[in-house]
Chain A
Amino acid sequence: MKPTKSVLAAFFSGMLMFACEPELSIHESGNLVAKTADQDSSVPSIYVNGAQLHAEAFGDPDDPMIVVLHGGPGEDYRDLLNCKEFANDGYRVVFYDQRGAGLSERFPHSTYTMQVLYDDLTAVISYYKASPTQPVFLLGHSWGAMLATAYINQYPSVINGAILGEPGGFKWDDVEDYLSRSRDFRLFSEGLNDAVYMEQFITAKENDHALLDYKFQLWATADGGEDSPTGNEGKLPYWRSGAVTSNAYMEWGDEHRPDWTTNLQQYTTKVLFIYSENNEAYGLAHAQKVSSAYPNVQLFETLNAGHDMLSFPRGWNNTYPVMLEYLNALK
């Protein structure tokens, strides 16, 4: 057999094997991204405010409640599960994935407003609250800390304390300022390639959730890489990144340019504000600027940790005692 014919024979044989593989649907949930609580009954969830939210609670139901608010928008609480440790120290710890995020039910892009997030949080607190006098604390990280502050700004009298980990900002200008630094990848870096080169492989429409979620997850892999200035110890664990809710809230912010500080002077309870040593995009100056919206702030720098200081061992071990001391003083 001539070499050319051999090559062609091998080529066609390979193609025949390739042709025999079953094809998978790019749009089907469960193929490339995990099924959500409304699609999979084995996912622990609660139905509140018209949404099936992935949620879990740990600890004695009568203990003071800590509601954990994850980052994003669009991420999930998997990377904050270290917070379960509070349950061993006398707290009821409540986790939930915000609507459209993680394993919680997805909704169309146009339905995401800040008010619906406030209503969800109110409903989650009501669902788990064992008595009217049970103290409620919010523990928010990044976007979750922004949401916690927006909620306190909206309802200054219902929350008994807050732990806030590196919120981008409480005014949209500060958010943009932080994002411009935290996403400052070098132009010729592998991190930038990882984030954008796949956009020629996968495209999706505005509400094409599963595909957008998968693409968003690939995009997010750049964060935590060597090129990222956020200083994390590694890649964050996750269940599902909600692309539509993420886009919706970022676009909402760009359009409305919110200021979530207008009522914060009424909130005189001390707030624990945490920033990390290794996040080059944050730092003391930004922490002071953002936290100054609260009248009573305890600033704490977590050493040897990056932006997701509560997700990795070094940051968690360095931060937990301070958080526990803060909560114990308020409960």
Chain B
Amino acid sequence: MKIIKISLLIIVALHFPKSLCLAQTLNWASLRQEQRHIVNVNAGYDYAFTYGVGYGYHLKMKLPIVLNVEYSQPAGDKAFDDFKTKIGGQIQLYQVNDFRFTAKILGIARRYENDYTRLFNFGSDMSAIAGYYRDKWFVAGEFGFDKAIVTNFKHTDLFRENFPDVKDGWYEPSTGGNFYYGLQAGVSFTNNDIFLKAGKVVQQDFETNPTIPFYVQIGYNRRF
């Protein structure tokens, strides 16, 4: 079972760059064929107050596809103790006039550390986006699922003072999952996009909420 999971992770990791696309919020209507690169900075609330950077590569294909890598970390005194990286992409599956439908699949590697523990997780983020895209602006709705597939737990001496028998290692089954849904909108000018997205987060049982059950992100894209 473990080997199957790991194989899947490897396959996902190796094939994302070849076949899929973006995590950045894009105005598909303003993305020109000749524009290959998209750099992004963003900030917002994503399970904590975070800031991040991203890069997207626009493939030369018939279907609009953008490959993407992202890094983000929460604000706080300790750099790099908590972070999230994503690799994957986004593809425009369907277009009717100015209405576009896209899918996004991302592999996630993320880390969390406090005085008691260090968690390292491999996960996935899949979402569907439908919206109205014009050259100068766009608005869309999104629905997605963020799955924490497999997590490694390593505890500190402080934790072991309280519970010496705690077991470190890889835990199964999946340690978590959150659905999210919301709206995204933006304006575009020359080679730039400014976007805002916000929505609600609910745990996979559709009943329990995180402490702060919302996400919001403001970002800037530069296309060239």
Contacts and interface: CB of A to CB of B under 8 A. Distances in A.
Is B truly associated with A?
A: yes
A30 B78 CA distance: 31
B148 interface: yes
Nearest to B172: A23
Given A12-B10, A23-B171, A198 B112 contact: yes
Contacts of B9: 15
Nearest to A27: B173
B110 A200 contact: yes
A190 B110 contact: no
A301 B148 CA distance: 47
A78 B176 CA distance: 30
Interface in A189-208: 189-190, 192-206
A1 interface: no
B47 A188 contact: no
A33 interface: yes
A194 B2 CA distance: 29
Nearest to A15: B6
Interface string A223-253: 0010000000001011110000000000000
Interface in B1-15: 1-3, 6, 9-10
Contacts of A187: 49, 75
What's the interface size class on B, roughly?
35 or more
Contacts of A23: 1-2, 169-172
A26 B48 contact: no
The bracket for how many chain A residues form the interface is 35 or more
A305 B158 CA distance: 21
A25 B82 CA distance: 24
A255 interface: no
Contacts of A175: none
Contacts of B82: 193, 197
Secondary structure dominating the interface of A: loop
Given A15-B6, A34-B165, A190 B78 contact: yes
B40 interface: no
A293 interface: no
B163 A33 contact: yes
Contact of A22 (B10, B169, B175): B169
Contact of B170 (A11, A21, A196, A202): A21
Given A21-B169, A26-B173, A199-B47, A34 B148 contact: no
Contacts of A329: none
A197 B177 contact: no
Contacts of A195: 211
Nearest to A212: B208
Contacts of A31: 166-167, 171
Contacts of B204: 203
B207 A206 contact: yes
A15 B13 CA distance: 12
Nearest to B203: A203
A202 B176 CA distance: 4
B71 interface: no
Contact of B176 (A11, A200, A217, A225): A200
Nearest to B159: A217
Interface of A: 11-12, 15, 18-19, 21-26, 30-34, 78, 187-190, 192-206, 211, 217-219, 221-222, 225, 235, 237-240
Interface of B: 1-3, 6, 9-10, 47-49, 74-78, 82, 84, 110, 112, 114-117, 119, 121, 123, 146, 148, 151, 153, 158, 161-163, 165-167, 169-173, 175-178, 203-205, 207-208, 210-212
